[in-house]
Structure 1
Amino acid sequence: MASIMNFSARRYLSVSAAARSAVKGAAPGSHEGGGYLLWKRLTFFVAFPAIGLGMLNAYLGHQEDHHKPRPEFVKYEYMCIRTKKFPWGDGNKSFFHNPEKNALPDGYETEAAHH
């Protein structure tokens, strides 16, 4: 008996909450309330400009970084500690190893001029 009353009370409250939140004349869950217009405006005036600014920031950062000289390698004891070999290649290079940017425990792979 208590479970039937509990179910009835929950059903009454959920239907009442949906009815209270519904816009006048619009069925619950429909798009007639105008909520889509808010998201459309947020997409065009917030999301797209944010994506564009992020792309500009990445491009300018790449241009700035591209002209910096590579820092000189200094062998510190606490850096490049290998307790176990990587399971690919020669076991000394990380999966996303870049020979121009990432140093190995003994220094950079090539001493070629940095672009």
Structure 2
Amino acid sequence: MLGLRRFVLPTHTLIARTIQTSSSRSKGFFGAGRDGYDHYKDNIKQVVKHGEPSRRRFMAIFCCIALPCLAAGMWVAYRDHKARYEQDRPPYIPYAFLNVRNKPFPWGDGNHSLFHNKAEQYVPGVGFEEERKKH
């Protein structure tokens, strides 16, 4: 019985200490603890004021670096798209591994993929279904 008392008594005091320390540190419901809701608006203003230099730095980096990079990327993509469609389509070489059909597709006639493009994708046994349209 003496051994049990040694275990029970410290456990009881440990639980009481844990409850006391956790309740004193608790901020309450949505931060309404020691300060209550009186200083909520001031705290939000302080956070926004503290983050203002970071926001300005981000906007400067975005406007000076990201926007010109986006514009250059759009110009390169447009130029490559235009150059590709000005040329004729290269002749199709029927490699065996390009059009393996072990079983038909479960839609349509079974010979066309789900996102089939009639002008750009070769269909085995048929070829290209449409010619490229000039822009």
- Normalising by the smaller structure, the TM-score range is 0.5 to 0.7
- From the CA coordinates, give the structure whose radius of gyration is larger: 2
2:49 & 2:116 partners in 1: Cα distance? Answer: 50
Identity %, equivalent residues = 31
What displacement does 1:64 show? 0.3
Aligned length: 95
TM-score by length of 1: 0.64
Q: Given that residues 99 and 108 in structure 1 are in contact (C-alpha distance below 8 angstroms), is that contact kept between their aligned partners in structure 2?
A: yes
Q: Which has the higher helix share?
A: 2
Give the aligned partner of residue 118 of structure 2.
99
Give the aligned partner of residue 30 of structure 1.
48
What displacement does 1:114 show? 5.8
Q: Say if 2:93 is the partner of 1:74.
A: yes
Q: How does 1:3-22 map to 2 (within 5 A)?
A: none
Query: Any gaps of 5 or more consecutive residues in structure 1?
Result: 12-25
TM-score by length of 2: 0.56
**3-state SS, counterpart of residue 32 of structure 1:** helix
Greater RCO (Cα-Cα under 8 Å, separation 6 or more):
1
Code of the aligned partner of 1:57: V
Kindly report the root-mean-square deviation, in angstroms, between the aligned alpha carbons of the 2 structures: 2.8
What displacement does 1:113 show? 6.5
Q: Given that residues 119 and 132 in structure 2 are in contact (C-alpha distance below 8 angstroms), is that contact kept between their aligned partners in structure 1?
A: no
